[in-house]
Amino acid sequence: MTKIDSITTRIIDLPTIRGHVLSMTTMVVQSIVLVQVRFSDGSTGLGEGTSIGGLSYGAESPESIKAAIDTYIAPLLEGCNADNINHVRTLIEKAVRGNPIARCAVEIALWDGLGKRLGVPVAALFGGTVHEAMDVAWTLASGNSDHDIAEAEDMLARRRHRQFKLKIGKRAVREDIAHVARICAAVGDRAMITVDVNQAWDLHDARWGLAGLQEIGVAMVEQPIDARMRDRLKALTDGYEIAVMADEALQGPVDALQLACNRGADAFAVKIAQSGGLKRGADVIAIAEAAGLGIYGGTMLEAGIGTAAALHLFSTVEKMRWGTELFGPLLFKDEILATPLRYADFQVHLPEGPGLGVALDEDKVAHFCRDRVKPVRLSVTNG
Ligand code: MUC
Ligand code: MG
C-alpha cells in the first residue's frame, strides 16, 4: 500500500501580462497555491488552487486555501492509502465543509500521484480521452475597447484564439453594450464573442443588457446577476434567446442538479476548483449532459498544474458545446512549468505522459514564491 507521507503548500505570486479588468476587481497578479504530496514509495503529486482577485470573486482566498490545507486537510491525510482517492476524498468532504478550491488542489495532487504510479495519464483514470486538443477562448479585459480590438486581431493572426470572452459589468450597461458592439463589429464572423458580467447587474440592468447583447450577436452571457438569485437567472434564461451560463451560481453537483431541474441556465461553466475537485467536476458534467445543458470548460485562472488537471478531465467529455477557456498560463508574465502547455491552431493540447504530464520549473517557482528566502548578498571587502 502506498501511503500519503506529507502535504506541503506554497503561495506563488505571478504578475499578469496586463491589468485584467473584471467587474469586481482589476488583477495585476495571480496568487497560486501549489500543493506537493509526497508518498511512501518516494513518488510525488502536484496540485494547484487559485481564486481570483483575493476575496473579490468568492469566499476563498489564496491565504485561506493554504490555511485550510495546512491546518485541516494535511494532518487528516497523513498515513492514508494514497491509491484509494475516493476514500481520501470522502474523509476530506466530511472534515471540511465548503472550501472547494482547497479540496480540489489536494485532489489534483492525488490524481497526479496515482497516474504517475500506474504509468497512465489522469485522463485514463477518468475513462480515457475523446479529444487530444480543445478550442480555447481568450478573455479580452484590458478595460479599453481599442486595446481589446488590437489584442483580438493579434490572437486571430497568431491562430491562438477564435473565441473571445469580454469582461463587462464595471461600466453602465449602455457603455458596456457600446464596447461589446465595437468589438463584435471589428471581429465580425471570424470569432465567437461571449461576455461575463461576474454578477454585477441587477435584474433591470440584466434585462436591458441581455436585450442589447443579443441584438449585436453575442452568443452567450455568463453569470449576469448575483449567484444567489436563482429564480431570476431562470427568468433571464426563459426570457431571451441569448444563452445564459451559470458560473458563480454553480458550486458543485448539488447546485448543478438544482439548476438543471428547473432549467435555471442554458449552460454550465464547469470549474474543477469550484466543483470541489475532478471527481465532483465529473459529477457536474454528468448532470449537465443528462439535462441537455451546454458545457463550457471554465477556469479560475490557474497556472499550468491546475490548467492541465482541468484539461485531463475535459478531454474525456464528448461534447464541450461552448469550448474551453483554459488560457490561464498565457495571462502570466512568466511560466512555472518546465515545459509549457501547447497552444496552437486555436486549441490547447493535452500534455502527454503519466499523471498530469507536467513538471514544475523549480527555479521559477522559487523566484515567485511569496515566502522565498531572499538571497543573501555577500560583499567581498579588500583588507
Ligand atoms: C470567470 O468569472 O469566469 C475566467 C476567465 C477570466 O478571464 O476570468 C475567469 C473568471
Ligand atoms: Mg465567469
Q: Which CATH number characterizes residue 21's domain?
A: 3.30.390.10
C-alpha cell at 342: 501547447
* Residue from 222, 271, 300, 324 to probe ligand 1 pocket by mutation (most atoms less than 8 Å from CB): 300
- Say whether both 18 and 48 belong to one domain: yes
* Residue 376 per-residue DSSP state: P
Which residues, including other chains, have CB under 8 Å from residue 157's CB and lie 6 or more apart? none
Question: Can you give the CATH number for the domain in which 138 is found?
Answer: 3.20.20.120
Range list of β-strands (E), the chain: 4-21, 26-39, 44-50, 133-135, 138-140, 163-167, 192-196, 220-222, 243-246, 267-270, 294-297, 342-344, 347-349
CA of 301 from ligand 1 middle (Å) equals 7
Q: How much is the mean pLDDT over the chain?
A: 96
Residue type present at position 236: L
Is 154 a residue whose pLDDT tops 60?
yes
Ligand 2: centre distance to CA 161 (Å): 18
Residue 379 forms part of a structural domain: no
User: Which residue, of 103, 119, 135, is where some domain finishes?
Assistant: 119
Instruction: Point out the domain boundary residue: 99, 119, 139.
Output: 119
What range defines the domain where residue 235 resides?
A: 125-360
Closest ligand 1 atom to Cα of 198: 2
Ligand nearest to the CA of 301: 1
Which pLDDT belongs to residue 227? Answer: 98
Whether the pLDDT of residue 380 is over 80: the answer is no
Residues 73 and 148 placed together within one structural domain of the fold: no
Q: How far apart (Å, rounded) are the C-alpha atoms in residues 12 and 365?
A: 7
Do 198 and 64 lie in a common domain? Answer: no
Work out the average pLDDT over 299-321. Answer: 98
Task: Provide the 10 A C-beta neighbour count for residue 11.
Answer: 16
pLDDT at 276: 98
pLDDT of residue 373: 58
Tell me, yes or no, whether 186 lies in a domain: yes
Mutating to test ligand 1, I would choose from 251, 271, 301 the residue with most ligand atoms within 8 A of its C-beta, which is 301
Are 37 and 109 in contact by the 8 Å Cβ rule? The answer is: yes
User: What percent of the chain stands above pLDDT 90?
Assistant: 97
80 and 132 fall within a common domain? no
Q: Which residues line ligand 1 (CB under 6 A)?
A: 52, 139, 141, 196, 198, 247, 269, 298-299, 301, 325
For residue 57, tell me if it sits in a domain: yes
pLDDT at 238 over 50: yes
Indicate whether 72 pLDDT > 50. Answer: yes
Ligand 1, closest atom to CA 327? 5
Residue 242, in any domain of the structure? yes
Average pLDDT for 141-162: 98
Give bridge partners of residue 195 from the DSSP assignment.
Answer: 166, 221
Which residue, 119, 141, 175, sits at the end of a domain? 119
- 281 and 339 assigned to the same domain: yes
378: cell is: 555577500
What is the per-residue pLDDT across 110-143, written as a single tens digit (0 to 9) for each? 999 999 999 999 999 999 999 999 999 999 999 9
C-alpha 270/C-alpha 248 separation (Å) is 10
Residue range 6-29: average pLDDT? 98
Residue corresponding to grid cell 451546454 = 294
Span 195-214, average pLDDT: 98
* Active-site annotation holds for 167: yes
Residue 383: what pLDDT? 33
Give 21's strand partners: 26
pLDDT of residue 195: 98
pLDDT-based confidence at 382, cuts 50/70/90?
Answer: very low
Mean pLDDT score, 323-342? 98
- Same domain (yes/no): 114, 147: no
Alpha-helical (H) ranges within 96-229 are: 100-118, 122-125, 145-157, 173-187, 203-215
Cα 114 to middle of ligand 1, angstroms: 29
Q: Note whether 268 and 250 are within 8 A (CB).
A: yes
Are 174 and 109 in a shared domain? no
Looking at residue 296, its amino acid is Y
Cα(302) to centroid(ligand 1), Å: 10
269 assigned to some structural domain: yes
Q: Is the pTM of this model over 0.85?
A: yes
Q: For residue 178, how far is its CA from the centre of ligand 2 (angstroms)? A: 21
The answer to whether residue 370 sits within a structural domain is no
The C-alpha cell that represents 339 in the structure block = 515545459
Q: What is the mean pLDDT of residues 371-380?
A: 57
Separation between Cα atoms, residue 186 and residue 193, nearest integer Å: 11
Per-residue confidence (pLDDT) for residue 377, from 0 to 100: 53
pLDDT of residue 83: 97
Residue 375 has pLDDT above 60, yes or no: no
- Contact between 121 and 357 (Cβ < 8 Å): yes
Q: What per-residue confidence (pLDDT) applies to 371?
A: 83
* 350 pLDDT higher than 70: yes
Q: What stretch of H or E contains 58? A: none
Residue 381 lies in a domain: no
Closest residue CA from atom 2 of ligand 1: 198
User: How many domains in the chain?
Assistant: 2
Catalytic residue, chosen from 116, 167, 170, 279, is 167
Q: Choose which residue among 25, 165, 199, 332 to substitute to test ligand 1 binding: the one with the highest number of ligand atoms within 8 A of its C-beta.
A: 165
Pair 114, 139 in one domain: no
Same domain, 86 and 49: yes
Q: For residue 118, report the distance from its CA to the centre of ligand 1, in Å.
A: 34
Note whether residue 376 is domain-resident: no
What length does the chain have? 383
Same domain? 188 vs 320: yes
The residue-averaged pLDDT of 363-373 equals 90
Q: Note the pLDDT tens digit of each residue in 164-187.
A: 999 999 999 999 999 999 999 999
Closest ligand to Cα 327: 1
Atom 4, ligand 1: residue with shortest CA distance: 299
Look at residue 295 in the predicted model and tell me its pLDDT: 98
Cα distance between residue 41 and residue 308, in whole Å: 24
Q: Clarify whether residues 45 and 183 are in a common domain.
A: no
pLDDT at residue 85 tops 70? yes
Q: Are 141 and 167 in contact (CB under 8 A)?
A: yes
320 in the same domain as 175: yes
